[in-house]
Structure 1
Amino acid sequence: MLTVFAQTLPFFAVIGLGYGAGKTGFFPPEATAWLTKFVFYFALSAMLFGFSASMSLGDIFEPRAAAAYLWGCAFLYLITLGVAFVRLRPLTEAVMEAHTAIIGNTGFLGVPMLVLILGDRAAGTVLLVLSVDLIVFSSLLTIIITLARQGRLSPDLPRVIGMGLLRNPMVVSMGLGLLWSATGYPLPGPVDATLTLLGAAATPGALFAIGASLTQSRAERLTVAGWLSGAKLVLHPLAVGGAALFVFGVDPFAAGVLICAAALPVAGNVYILAQHYDVCVTRVSAAILISTALSVLTLPVVIAQFTG
């Protein structure tokens, strides 16, 4: 346990440095926005392309692991929706709360942390989680909110969803990497070296950006935000783990990676979606802040318990 905590501490230390830099004004919001853009479009995309280019689609999409993750997410999604409806919240708020409870910071925190701690063997499963979050549940959120507000599904909705995915560099970089992998050719030396150099900036850049961006979060509506944080950090890994280990019989190592990925704090891009749709903005912001702070203690426990 102490060993795992020591392994994760440097990641959270860099997040803390980013938070301190943002809180003191040394790193203003404009700087955070530009650093996030660099990581999102260049460093992290290079890392994801490099991982994908060395894998096949089968290495990422393992049917049992995918089914277990989807089942666990859907189970908690329905529970969170039910809690929101009991509180008499409208459908748009209920679905945003459900999205908050199941979408972890896989891109900026999970990919660099879990692959470094658990090894390259974990990369395929982590990319599976990232793909499901970005493609399945982000699309589902768009569909439900559109339906709730317009009362019908627009014929233009598939194009909107498709363009949204094509504009996401994480989706594009993984797709291009898999296409390159399908050719059977290794990456040219200079290309591989460039991707490695850029990818090396992803981990510190992403962690620092997470910390700096947290200074813009507001700790209001603590009761609901606390519930969503608890759902994300505790109920989500329990639901995914139960499905992986007892329902779908996922390989123990892959199941452990799924559980660790599910134990990640709420993703920052959920806040972007909340702002875009103007739904639960304060609630989501507070859940990101609370879950990230608590994950300093909860995530090492999960990694220690569910990985060998």
Structure 2
Amino acid sequence: MFAVLSQTLPFFALIALGYGAARRGMFGAEAVAALTVFVFYFALSAMLFRFAADLDLAAAIDPAFLGAYFTATLAVYLLATMVAFLRRRGTMEAAIEAQCAVIGNVGFLGIPMLALLLGEASVGPIIQVLSIDLIFFGGLVVILLTVGRGGRAGPALIATVASGLARNPMIVATAAGLVWSGFALPIPGPVDRFLEILGAAATPGALFAIGASLASKSAERLSVAIWLSAAKLVLHPGAVAIAALFVFDVEPYAAGVMIAAASLPVAGNVYIIAQSYGVAPQRASSAILVSTVLSVVSVTWVLARLA
């Protein structure tokens, strides 16, 4: 495990560096927002497009993989929802808590870290994980929150969700890359080099931005944050492992990538959604902070077991 820790520690050290810079006032809220926009819309998108353009489409769409991840994730999602209802939380709060339990930081942490530690062959499985997280569960939480607020479920709501997904740069970059791959088009040398240079900024930029954003998070409702962190860091990868290895018989390497992706801490966009709708933002904030701190050990342990 210590050998794996020596590989994962630099990634978490970059997160700590961003956290320290923000705490010391060197990186204010506006700077964090600007860095996040750069990473999200430019650096990470360049990395995703370049990776997706090099993929074999058959390797990027595996029904067994998608079935295993979706089934396991839905099971944990429903469990977290049931626990929220047992605690007499409403539908909207339950939706946020369930999102915390299953949506990991695959974009900002998973892609940079897993692609380097597990190899570029991990990109296909990671993209499949992202597609389910962003398209299904990302759309589901918006529908639940909108209906819970008094909105009506119908074609207008579905159109709004679809429009939001279509504007997500990670989805757009990945889809464009897969189309490029599907037509077997070569990337011109200067363009490829441009994408490589821009995409290289995604890893340090994303990790620094994660740390800087954590500086504004608090650990209120600690008992709930610990439960949601346990669901995300333990139950989610555990359920994914059972589904991938014993139910759907996913190829071992892809199953390992799926388990590693599922072991990642709660994604920052859960807080953004919670804040936007005014539903349990402090609870989401706490879950992100606690799960990210604990993931230094838990993610390292999972990667060590998979090695």
Same fold (TM over 0.5): yes
Aligned to 1:268: 268
Find the residue that maps to 1:156 and give its secondary structure: helix
CA distance in 1, matches of 2:251, 2:302: 17
Runs (4+) off by over 3 Å? none
Aligned to 2:186: 186
Aligned to 1:174: 174
CA distance in 2, matches of 1:151, 1:166: 21
Aligned to 2:23: 23
Query: Where do residues 114-263 of structure 1 align in structure 2 (5 Å cutoff)?
Result: 114-150=114-150, 152-263=152-263
CA distances 1:241-293 after superposition (whole Å, capped 9, x unpaired): 11001110111111111110000000001111111111110000010000001
Aligned to 2:105: 105
Aligned to 2:2: 2
CA distance in 2, matches of 1:293, 1:151: 37
Compare 58-67 and 70-79 and name the one that shifted more: 58-67
Aligned to 2:86: 86
CA distance in 2, matches of 1:256, 1:278: 36
CA distance in 1, matches of 2:266, 2:288: 5
Residue type at the aligned position of 1:40 = F
CA distances 1:225-253 after superposition (whole Å, capped 9, x unpaired): 11101110011000111100111011111
Aligned to 1:34: 34
Give 1:203 shift: 0.1
CA distance in 1, matches of 2:227, 2:128: 27
Closer, same or farther: CA 42–151 of 1 in aligned 2, 3 Å: closer
Taking only aligned residues, the RMSD between alpha carbons, in angstroms, comes to 1.0
CA distance in 1, matches of 2:53, 2:225: 38
CA distance in 2, matches of 1:2, 1:165: 40
Compare 150-159 and 82-91 and name the one that shifted more: 150-159
TM-score (ref. length: structure 2): 0.98
Q: Aligned residues: percent identity?
A: 57
Residue type at the aligned position of 2:304 = A
CA distance in 2, matches of 1:171, 1:151: 26
CA distance in 2, matches of 1:85, 1:162: 28
Unmatched tracts of structure 2, length 5 or more: none
Aligned to 1:65: 65
Residue type at the aligned position of 1:153 = A
CA distance in 2, matches of 1:19, 1:32: 11
CA distance in 2, matches of 1:15, 1:164: 28
Give 1:21 shift: 0.0
CA distance in 1, matches of 2:154, 2:136: 18
Residue type at the aligned position of 1:227 = W
Find the residue that maps to 2:33 and give its secondary structure: helix
Aligned to 1:287: 287
CA distance in 2, matches of 1:51, 1:229: 30
Give 1:151 shift: 6.2
Residue type at the aligned position of 1:165 = L
Residue type at the aligned position of 2:130 = L
Give 1:148 shift: 2.5
Give 1:58 shift: 2.2
Asked if 1:302 corresponds to 2:274, the answer is: no
Find the residue that maps to 1:249 and give its secondary structure: coil
Give 1:186 shift: 0.9
CA distance in 2, matches of 1:23, 1:98: 29
CA distance in 2, matches of 1:151, 1:85: 21
Find the residue that maps to 1:150 and give its secondary structure: coil
